[in-house]
Amino acid sequence: MEYVNLLVFAGLTAGVAAVQGMRWSRDRRLRPPECHGGVALPPHPPKVSLLVAAWNEAALLPRHLESFKRLRYPNRELVLCAGGTDGTYALAAASRSEYVVVLEQRPGEGKQRALRQCFEHATGDLFFLTDADCELDDESFEATLAPLLHDGARAVTGGSRPLDRQMKTPFVMQQWYIDRYVRAHWGRTTDGILGRNAAFTRDAIEASGSFQYEAPTGTDYVMAKRLREAGVTILHAPTSQVASEHASDFGTYRKQQSRWLRNVVLHGIRFRVYGEAARGLAPSILGMVMIVGTPIAVWAGPLSTALAAAAWLFVILNRVRYVRTGERLTGTSLGAPYWQIPLFVLIDFAVWALVLFDYPVKAIRTRW
């Protein structure tokens, strides 16, 4: 019997190695997006309104404001709806100027209503959505705007990267590498938007409803779906990577992942894109199976243990591949030995599994 179990484990290991080998070979063909230098601006650039909802962002808002002031795009304004219990509004109000419009966000209004206020007070022809924990730069800002300025696009979204001071945090870096790996497989268009790096024409926002709809959570997801329903194509700007704060502790990461997965599942059902809803639920099911199923498999006997070991080997090698590809695409380093990667995988499984317990509780299910 032990001989059979060894043969099974050897066969499973060989299968995992073969699949991973083919995927490594495929991924080596991935290349970083080509950068063509700065974007040529029109002689009279249209006015761009940056819309930002800031709640309890006093620690990060000053850097965001400074990054806005440093942008070289000449015709711009920042419309900031700020509030919270940490003095965010007072800090924002002190920055009012000809180019910075500050509105007050009250408790319970949420991001969606804050953006609605911003849009109502904005005077731009184009609109750039970002977050108060982001630090803007010319290259990413203009790369997102470029298809609107030159190609007749109506909606564009880019990506994000960690803040410079987070570039040596391995847990943060592997999050970024996974995102870069996924985006490297995207085409010219996409079905979603990243709310901290997205740009639109006025008519595109109006076609989606001008934020005059309720979205207590999942603002980005709902807006993207409404844009697609209105016939607006969303373009992907692969070279645009706005610096933003990434979750670096378990509690923040747990809340972020819960929010993202819940949004896909609940809004996917709402918009009847059941495939997307299923894909949003899959990580939680996988996490629960791996966390709960592994000790059960070990208890059940050698054969099930071999199956569990092969499953863990497969997902860990997947993560190693994502990290190595991300390092190559970004020209950066994880900053830690690869033996830490299984720990990151375990954290993800635990976080994803916990999301299943959020769905039955309405107060959590609909929480931002």
Between residues 3 and 20, which one has the greater pLDDT?
Answer: 20
pLDDT for position 186: 93
Residues 87-93 have a mean pLDDT of 96
Q: Residues 195, 307: one domain?
A: no
pLDDT confidence of 170, banded at 50, 70, 90? very high
Domain boundary among 248, 263, 280: 248
Q: Residues 209, 291: one domain?
A: no
Residues 181-203 have a mean pLDDT of 95
Q: Residues 92, 239: one domain?
A: yes
- The answer, yes or no, to whether residue 1 has pLDDT greater than 60, is no
Q: Residues 208, 298: one domain?
A: no
Domain ranges, residue 62 = 48-248
Q: pLDDT digit string (tens) for 248-260?
A: 999 999 999 999 9
pLDDT for position 368: 59
Between residues 302 and 113, which one has the greater pLDDT?
Answer: 113
* Nearest C-alpha neighbor of 257 from the set 348, 362, 193, 182: 348
Rounded CA gap, 129 and 338, in Å? 36
Rounded CA gap, 98 and 104, in Å? 17
Q: What are the φ/ψ torsions at residue 189 (nearest 5 degrees)?
A: -120, 165
Q: Residues 279, 334: one domain?
A: yes
- The answer, yes or no, to whether residue 302 has pLDDT greater than 80, is yes
pTM for the structure as a whole: 0.92
Domain count for the chain: 2
Q: pLDDT digit string (tens) for 268-285?
A: 999 999 999 999 999 999
Q: Residues 63, 145: one domain?
A: yes
Judge whether 338 lies within some domain.
yes
